[in-house]
Structure formats: C-alpha cells, structure tokens
Amino acid sequence: MTEREYDVVIIGSGAGGGTVAKELAPLAKSGARIAVLEWGPRFREEEFTGREIEMAARLYHEGGGVLTKDGAMTLAFGKAYGGSTVVYTGTSLVVRPDTVARWGVKGLDHADLARRSAKYMAENNVHLIPEEDQNENNRLFRDACRRLSWRVEQFPVNVKGCRGSGLCNLGCPNAAKQGTHRVQLPQAESAGVEVITNCKVERIEDRAVLARVAPCRFGFPSAWEPGEHRVKARFVVVCGGAVNTCALLLRSNLPARLPVLGKWLTTHPALILVAEHPRPITNFHGHPKSYYCDHFTESRRFLLETCMYFPFMTAKSMCGFGAPHEAMMRRFDRLQMILSLAIDPAREHNAVGINAAGEPVVDYTLADDVLNSLLESMRAAARIFFEAGAVRVHAPATERFAIERADRERIDDLVVRKWLRPGRVSISAAHLMGGARMGAGPDDSVTNEWGEVHGLPWLFVGDSALFPRCAEINPYLTIMALADRVAERVTRRLSAPGGR
C-alpha cells in the first residue's frame, strides 16, 4: 500500500466536488496540497461517441440503471471526471425562496444561495437559447402550455458552441456543455489541484482515506499506479453524490453519533412521456431541453419539462410490448416527449443503506402522494400533447397502449390510478438529494449548514447529499452554491492558525 499525505482530499468530481476543487485552487496556488479522488475515468474527446448503449455503460454507475431495493425505480448518476455534470442536460435554475424557507435550515438563506448560484451561472456561460435554435419538440410544448394558460418558462442552459446534437445525456461529443469537467476542474488543475481518476475511496478513517486505483479501461491513465493507497489529510470533503456519499460514510464506521445518516432521501421520481404526431417534428435536432411548466408545483406537486431521449431509453420508458410498441418506436422522428417529475416529500424511511459488501442499497418507497402527483402529471402531459396536435398519446397509467385523439376529452377516465403500479410503469430518477442533510444537530441531520459533519470537525460533505428536502427544481446550480459554502468554510479552517 502506498502512503500519501495532503492538506485536503475531495472525494468525487461532480457538481459538488468540482466546485470545491476550484474554490480551493487559491490555496493550492499558495502551496497547500489538494487532491480530488474520482472513481470514474477521464475520457478522451474521441471517446464521446454519442452511441447510446456504449456511452451509457461507460458514463453511468451501472449503465444508469441502479435499481431501488423494491425494483420499482431506476436511478441514474454519472461516474467520470466531472461526475453527473458530464451527463446532465445543463438546465440551470436558481432555487426558489419558498423552497429554502421550507428546508428550515438555520443560517442558510435564499439570498446567499442566489448570490453564489449567480457566480456559477456566469462561470458556466448560462444563457437562453435563441428562438431560432429551439426545436419543434420544445416549441410545441411551449405553445400548447400557453394555449392552455399554464405557466411555462424557458430554461437557461450552460452551453458554449452547442451544435444541437441532442446527445447531452450521453456526454456531449462537441465539448459544448459546461460541466465541471470543462470549467471548474481544469481551473483547479491549472492552479495545482491534483485530480486522480479511476480511484475509488473504499473507506474513511480518522483524517485519512483508503483508496483503490483500478487499471485504466478507457480514457487517460490515472496519475497514480493501480493498487491501494492510504492518504492522510487534514480535511476530507465527501462529494460522491447522494447515494455514494452516504454509502461511503456508512461503511466507514465513523466515530460520531449520526443516527440519520442515509435517511430522508428524495429523488424527484420521473416519467418519460411520449406522443405521436402525424408528421416528423425534428425532436432530435437542437438542444433537447428549452422549456418547463411549473404551473402545478404548488397545487399538485409536479413539474413538466421538455426532453428528448434516445431509442433504447424511450423504448424502455413505454409500458407494453409487441405491435403497438414497435409501431410507435418506428415513428421515432414523430415523437414528442415530456419529462414529468414528482416533487417528493422527504421521508425518514427513504434511505441509502449498505449491503454486507458495503455497497449502496437504496430503499425508496413510491408513496401514494407521489404516485398521485405522477398520475396528475400524466394527465396534464396528455393535454399538452393533444393541444400540440398529437394523434395518439402513450400514457403509462392506462389499460390500452395509447389514447387516441378521438378520446382526448376522456383523459381523466382513461388515465387512472389502478394502472399506475410501481413495477408496471417505468419510473426513473436522476435528481438524487439528501441522506447527509444539513441541520441543527445530530438528531435531525448529519452536517451543519456549512457541510461540517457533526462531531468530526475534519470531515465535510459537499454535494447533493446535503439537501434537507428536495430542490423542487433541477438541482445542480444549488449543489454548486452549497459546495461553494463548504469550500469557503474549509478555506477559513485551513487558513486559521494551526489549520484546524
């Protein structure tokens, strides 16, 4: 085993870890030794092929299909230099004031998060895509929402030189999406922060981590040789993403009382909804995500967003098999798509645990209120599809494969709860939040409002695990804002006399 020593070790390089690394860059410049240990590889440009099955297997943990314990939901999160920011779509929203108020974390206010989010919006080139570059999938959604008098807004996105290939969730092949792999990590590295890829942290010990570097199958070789490494650090910042951060902390048997570790996980359970138009609608040209409808956020607790998924993902998102399924897939260029997301309440029993091998097990129950939100979201999406001119809508909670246009006045009768059964309907989640929530003390949380783990002053959490409840919008910008706070606190502690 190789022994190493650093001032700060950051575990994970996604929205949280990449941000912390970049914010600590001035310390690295002035001599502090800082390392980011990332489980995934750093891909070469030519390895972003845009091919669905190949890229899903390379870029995601378990190909993007991590199953919850009951098998009712799949979870998608990235594993690469840049974490899930390599595969996210780059929609960039600032958390709403009422959401932060609902979190009720003393010392955490909306103005502070908004100020920090604005910094990353500027850094990541966040802007609105001009009308002429928006595709028909997006315009149909927007115009239908407006005709229905439902609130619809344009997503700001973080792209530079976007060529509209629609492949964002497979890793942008055009280097346009401004994730931490394009912006924050390169800045950190040029200041002297070391990023070690193919390096999985197995356990955290007292002011040290045990890591294993795997031989390289893709991308650039790791800066460290394959094998085991014990790395001493004055501060450790865990940014492995909600699921892996919790699993790592749980298997480390930390000497602190953390009774809620892993608990209160939220996921924004989501459905990919599909409808067929009588003609091609160019859904796969242009940036996939330009609009969202938050008209039902308060009343029904769901969001609707434009989206475009790839053939395998689309096929698996539709219920049923056989001729109608095949017929719809064959008309892929006529499909309009909407992603619906339930705004799920945080519940103690929705939790990340570990199995005997120390690997994560996500125990998440799709509760009645969440299923009702998804049911209402399907009905609303079906109205949008028909308003936009679709000839048939595949609504998973129906007895039939699709609702025909002639039946569009009967949506509420046809889309019913009876058919929305976990396991029957394909539900997925990509916004995993909580498990190491911020709060006042160990009885209700894992860290304080600065991400410091209760009782372990050298250990921080700096990622999506910090959310006390869900973000109620797409979360990455808020994760960066929270990570920015964590980095500020680490900087202050490291710069204090004695550096503790």
- Give the footprint of ligand SF4 on this chain (CB under 6 A): 159, 162-168, 172, 174, 176-177, 287
CB atoms within 10 A of CB 225: 10
Question: Which tokens belong to 372?
Answer: 């009702």
Under DSSP, is residue 223 helix (H, G, I), strand (E, B) or coil? coil
Question: Which tokens belong to 171?
Answer: 């890793």
Smallest distance from ligand FAD to CB 441, Å = 23
Is the CB of residue 329 less than 8 Å from the CB of residue 309? no
Contact status: 200 vs ligand FAD (CB under 6 A)? yes
- Dihedral (C-alpha) 34, 107, 480, 103: value to the nearest 10 degrees? 140
Site string (73-112) toward ligand FAD, x via CB under 6 A: ---xxxxx--xxx-xxxxx---------------------
Q: Which of the listed partners (ligand FAD, ligand SF4, none) does 287 bind, with a CB threshold of 5 to 8 Å by partner kind?
A: ligand SF4
Contact status: 475 vs ligand FAD (CB under 6 A)? yes
Cβ proximity to ligand SF4, 167 vs 425, nearer residue: 167
Q: Which helix (H) or strand (E) holds 5?
A: strand 2-11
Phi, psi of 86 (to 5 degrees): -70, -30
Identify the residue among 4, 7, 9, 14 touching ligand FAD (CB under 6 A).
14
Identify the residue among 11, 28, 303, 482 touching ligand FAD (CB under 6 A).
11
What CA–CA distance (Å, rounded) separates 322 from 40?
Answer: 37
Cβ proximity to ligand FAD, 12 vs 396, nearer residue: 12
Binding part of the chain for ligand FAD, among 110-118, 234-242, 267-275, 312-320 by CB under 6 A, reads 234-242
Smallest distance from ligand FAD to CB 402, Å = 26
Contact status: 464 vs ligand FAD (CB under 6 A)? yes
Q: Which of the listed partners (ligand SF4, ligand FAD, none) does 103 bind, with a CB threshold of 5 to 8 Å by partner kind?
A: none
Radius of gyration of the chain from Cα atoms? Answer: 22
Phi/psi region, residue 122 (left: phi>0; alpha: psi -120 to 50; beta: rest), is alpha
Smallest distance from ligand SF4 to CB 390, Å = 24
Is the CB of residue 276 less than 8 Å from the CB of residue 307? no
Contact status: 121 vs ligand FAD (CB under 6 A)? no
Distances, alpha carbon 277 to alpha carbons 90, 284, 287, 436, in Å: 27, 14, 20, 44
| Binding interface with ligand FAD (CB under 6 A) | 11-17, 37-40, 76-80, 83-85, 87-91, 169, 200-201, 239-242, 244, 248, 430-431, 463-464, 474-477, 479
